[in-house]
């Protein structure tokens, strides 16, 4: 079988790998579609991010869907031919954080395509994948492309859950990449009344409009537009900061109402924080990291039609064009969610 393997920055190869058979409690999956994530792009463009660097060849990818082709002993509830969304979250279930119900913080997490531990955790961009049955959620009724968006959608559902009550809230989202635009869908599904989105360029903001943003602001061409939301100590109840940029965080906090919730999702290293605003407005600053139990909910919300991710899938490439796919995904001027098709049945 073929797999998409990163060796170092800008050294991405499609290589042959041996196929395996499912053991008890596992399934064999013919991979259908994989979405290129921001972390995949960090490995491709920079060889890692921060202290996390590639030390050995690693299969990339963790946003995937596929069709079950074989069942291991003891697997129930899944059938050969089922389209499944595959959660990359594989907590150990026995460490102290798993015992506390914080499985996204598992001390022994095996998350597809991660260079954090060594040896690295190999990713899911491979034509044939062996997965635990517990990772698989039936996605029948969706396209393979939609099913592959379950993972980033789960990230935003977890963030919304961390915020708490959303009904009737006025929401600001800074950064309109894939996570920012999925935050629009997740916040709206949770009852947000008004959603304003900012970014540095028009193309990602056009996608924000497609999925239901009430207003978009290009902070380069309209740098003072957010000032209209500053009177009377601010306007927004919730900020989803998805850019990982300190100026965006500061600008967002300036237009928050007292006791609003600042949800930091963007990850790009250490950021300075306007502490006076945080203190004087009594803002709650919260973080959100990955997800776990939200994954089946992501699939169900798409199957029910409450969330439609199709407008965000901007490009699809075959596995032989993996390098081109990563180059396009890097270009925010044209790409929102770039996916790779691994099998003809996708």
Q: Is the dihedral of CA 5, 83, 290, 337 positive or negative?
A: positive
List the CATH number of the domain containing 163. 3.40.50.720
Please, are residues 169 and 190 in contact by the beta-carbon 8 Å criterion? Answer: no
The predicted model gives 288-300 an average pLDDT of: 97
> Are 122 and 253 within one domain?
no
The predicted model gives 102-117 an average pLDDT of: 95
Please, are residues 219 and 199 in contact by the beta-carbon 8 Å criterion? Answer: yes
Task: Please state, in angstroms and as integers, the Cα–Cα distance from residue 80 to each residue in 71, 77, 236, 291, 346, following that order.
Answer: 7, 10, 48, 27, 15
Residue 76 has pLDDT above 70, yes or no: yes
> Are 202 and 226 within one domain?
yes
Task: Please state, in angstroms and as integers, the Cα–Cα distance from residue 247 to each residue in 174, 238, 243, 250, 260, following that order.
Answer: 10, 17, 10, 5, 18
Backbone torsions φ then ψ of 229, nearest 5 degrees: -100, 5
How much is the pLDDT for 51? Answer: 87
If we measure between CA atoms, which residue out of 91, 93, 92, 89 comes closest to residue 64?
89
- Helix axes 322-330 and 38-46, enclosed angle (nearest 10): 100
> Are 74 and 121 within one domain?
yes
Who contacts 284 (Cβ-Cβ below 8 Å, separation ≥6)? 259, 260, 261, 262
Residue 18 has pLDDT above 80, yes or no: yes
Is residue 298 one of the residues assigned to a domain?
Answer: no
Structural domain span for residue 176: 154-287
Is residue 132 one of the residues assigned to a domain?
Answer: yes
Write the pLDDT tens digit of every residue in 227-273.
Answer: 999 999 999 999 999 999 999 999 999 999 999 999 999 987 778 89
Q: Is the dihedral of CA 154, 245, 235, 163 positive or negative?
A: positive
- The sheet with strand 236-241 has its strands ordered as 215-218, 194-199, 170-174, 236-241, 256-264, 284-287
Of 140-154, 199-213, 331-345, the one with minimum mean pLDDT is 331-345
Of 35-49, 59-73, 261-275, the one with minimum mean pLDDT is 261-275
For the chain, strand residue ranges (E) read 2-8, 11-16, 26-35, 48-49, 52-53, 58-59, 63-71, 83-86, 128-132, 136-138, 170-174, 194-199, 215-218, 236-241, 256-264, 284-287, 313-318, 337-341
The predicted model gives 157-161 an average pLDDT of: 98
Backbone torsions φ then ψ of 322, nearest 5 degrees: -60, -40
> Are 130 and 168 within one domain?
no
Rounded CA separation 175/240 (Å)? 9
How much is the pLDDT for 279? Answer: 97
How much is the pLDDT for 346? Answer: 44
345 pLDDT band (50/70/90 cuts)? Answer: low
**50-89 per-residue burial string, b: 16 or more CB within 10 A, e: under 16:** eebebeeebbbbbbbbbbbeebbeebeeeeeebbbbbbbb
Residue 219 has pLDDT above 80, yes or no: yes
Of 46-50, 242-246, 295-299, the one with minimum mean pLDDT is 46-50
Is residue 111 one of the residues assigned to a domain?
Answer: yes
Q: How many CA atoms lie within 13 A of 98 on its CB side?
A: 11
> Are 138 and 163 within one domain?
no
Cα distance from N-terminal residue to C-terminal residue, the chain: 17
How much is the pLDDT for 322? Answer: 98
DSSP three-state, residue 193:
coil
Is residue 304 one of the residues assigned to a domain?
Answer: no
Is residue 108 one of the residues assigned to a domain?
Answer: yes
For 177-249, strand residue ranges (E) read 194-199, 215-218, 236-241
Q: What is the mean pLDDT of the chain?
A: 96
344 pLDDT band (50/70/90 cuts)? Answer: low
Backbone torsions φ then ψ of 75, nearest 5 degrees: -80, 130
Who contacts 36 (Cβ-Cβ below 8 Å, separation ≥6)? 61, 63, 325, 326, 329, 337, 338, 339, 340
> Are 179 and 274 within one domain?
yes
Of all residues in the chain, what percent carry a pLDDT higher than 90? 95
Residue 209 has pLDDT above 80, yes or no: yes
> Are 282 and 173 within one domain?
yes
> Are 130 and 203 within one domain?
no
> Are 168 and 138 within one domain?
no
222 pLDDT band (50/70/90 cuts)? Answer: very high
> Are 161 and 128 within one domain?
no
**How many domains would you assign to the chain?**
2
The predicted model gives 36-59 an average pLDDT of: 94
Rounded CA separation 336/260 (Å)? 29
Is residue 30 one of the residues assigned to a domain?
Answer: yes
If we measure between CA atoms, which residue out of 278, 295, 208 comes closest to residue 243?
208
> Are 102 and 14 within one domain?
yes
Rounded CA separation 207/308 (Å)? 13
50 pLDDT band (50/70/90 cuts)? Answer: confident
Of all residues in the chain, what percent carry a pLDDT higher than 70? 99
The predicted model gives 116-132 an average pLDDT of: 96
Structure tokens at 186: 């997740």
> Are 12 and 132 within one domain?
yes
List the CATH number of the domain containing 24. 3.90.180.10
Is residue 21 one of the residues assigned to a domain?
Answer: yes
Is residue 205 one of the residues assigned to a domain?
Answer: yes
């Amino acid at each position: 079988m073929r797999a998409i393997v990163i060796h170092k920055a800008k050294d991405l190869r499609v290589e042959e790998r041996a196929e395996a058979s499912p053991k008890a409690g596992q399934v064999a999956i013919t991979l259908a579609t994989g979405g290129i994530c921001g972390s995949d792009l960090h490995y491709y463009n920079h060889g890692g991010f921060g202290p996390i660097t590639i030390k050995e060849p690693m299969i990339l990818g963790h946003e995937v869907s596929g069709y079950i082709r074989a069942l291991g002993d003891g697997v129930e509830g899944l059938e050969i031919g089922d389209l499944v969304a595959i959660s990359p979250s594989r907590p150990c279930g026995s460490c102290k954080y798993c015992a506390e119900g914080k499985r996204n913080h598992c001390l022994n997490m095996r998350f597809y395509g991660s260079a954090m531990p060594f040896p690295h955790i190999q990713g899911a961009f491979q034509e044939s994948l062996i997965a635990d049955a517990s990772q698989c959620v039936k996605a029948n009724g969706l396209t393979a492309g939609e099913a592959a968006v379950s993972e980033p959608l789960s990230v935003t559902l977890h963030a919304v859950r961390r915020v708490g009550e959303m009904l009737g809230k006025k929401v600001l989202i800074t950064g309109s990449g894939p996570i920012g635009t999925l935050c629009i869908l997740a916040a709206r599904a949770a009852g947000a009344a008004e959603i304003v989105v900012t970014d540095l360029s028009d193309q990602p903001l056009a996608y924000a409009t497609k999925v239901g943003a009430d207003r978009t602001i290009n902070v380069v061409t309209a740098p003072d537009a957010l000032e209209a939301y500053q009177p009377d100590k601010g306007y927004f109840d919730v900020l989803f900061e998805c850019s990982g940029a300190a100026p965006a965080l500061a600008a967002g906090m300036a237009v928050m109402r007292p006791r609003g919730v600042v949800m930091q999702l963007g990850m790009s290293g250490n950021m300075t924080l306007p502490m006076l605003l945080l203190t004087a407005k009594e803002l709650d600053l919260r973080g959100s990291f990955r997800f776990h139990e939200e994954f089946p909910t992501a699939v169900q919300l798409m199957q029910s039609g409450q969330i439609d991710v199709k407008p965000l899938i901007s490009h699809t490439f075959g596995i032989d064009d993996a390098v081109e796919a990563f180059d396009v995904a890097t270009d925010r001027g044209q790409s929102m969610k770039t996916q790779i098709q691994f099998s003809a049945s996708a």
